[in-house]
Structure 1
Amino acid sequence: MKPDIHPDYHEITIIMTDGTTYKTKSCMGKEGDTLRLDIDPKSHPAWTGVQRVIDTGGQIAKFNKRFAGIGTRKA
């Protein structure tokens, strides 16, 4: 390998959503940094098969309120 062209590959700590931790090698951050996951195979519906209810009603209402006047003609 050519010197000084590769990123620093070091050990970091991963914290899963349930609090379990493990160490792995990565180019992220610096030696000893911690990466806290929001979604992981233990909690994501693609792996668990359990769907979570996502509140999109609030987002749709906010969108409709914000853009309610678009498309209406003013006399």
Structure 2
Amino acid sequence: MRADIHPAYQEVLFHDTNADVYFLTRSTIKSKVTREYEGKEYPYVALDISSASHPFYTGEQRKTQNEGRVASFNKRFGAFAGRNKK
């Protein structure tokens, strides 16, 4: 195996911010931020979604907070569509 061609494979702390769950696993991802976990310092990566919070894995469905742009537009200006043009 050639030297100095592979990325560093190290333990990394992942944090699912939706479920507030921490995962300690090995990865090649690089992070400038570090956090202490169980008495050791690890590179830290924040995640929006993981298997701990994804509806496919949890079995629960969540309502989206934001409507689509078209639905929002129709909600605001839908009454004007029914008017007759003069």
Query: The TM-score by the shorter chain falls in which range?
Result: 0.5 to 0.7
Letter in 1 for 2:19: D
Verify the 8 A CA contact 2:7 2:28 in the aligned structure 1. yes
Tell me the C-alpha RMSD between the 2 structures: 2.7
Higher strand share: 2
**TM-score of the two chains, using structure 1 as the length reference:** 0.63
Aligned-pair distance for 1:21?
Answer: 2.0
Structure 1: unaligned runs, 5 residues or longer: 66-75
Which position in structure 2 is the counterpart of 1:52? 62
For structure 2, the 5+ residue unaligned runs are 35-41, 77-86
Secondary structure at the residue paired with 1:11?
Answer: strand
Question: Against the structure 1 CA distance between its residues 22 and 41, is the aligned structure 2 distance closer, same or farther, given a 3 Å change threshold?
Answer: closer
1:41 aligns with 2:42: no
Cα distance, 1:10–1:52 mapped onto 2, change above 3 Å:
same
Aligned-residue identity in percent: 32
- How many residues align? The count is 64
Match of 2:80 in 1: none
TM-score, normalised to structure 2, is: 0.56
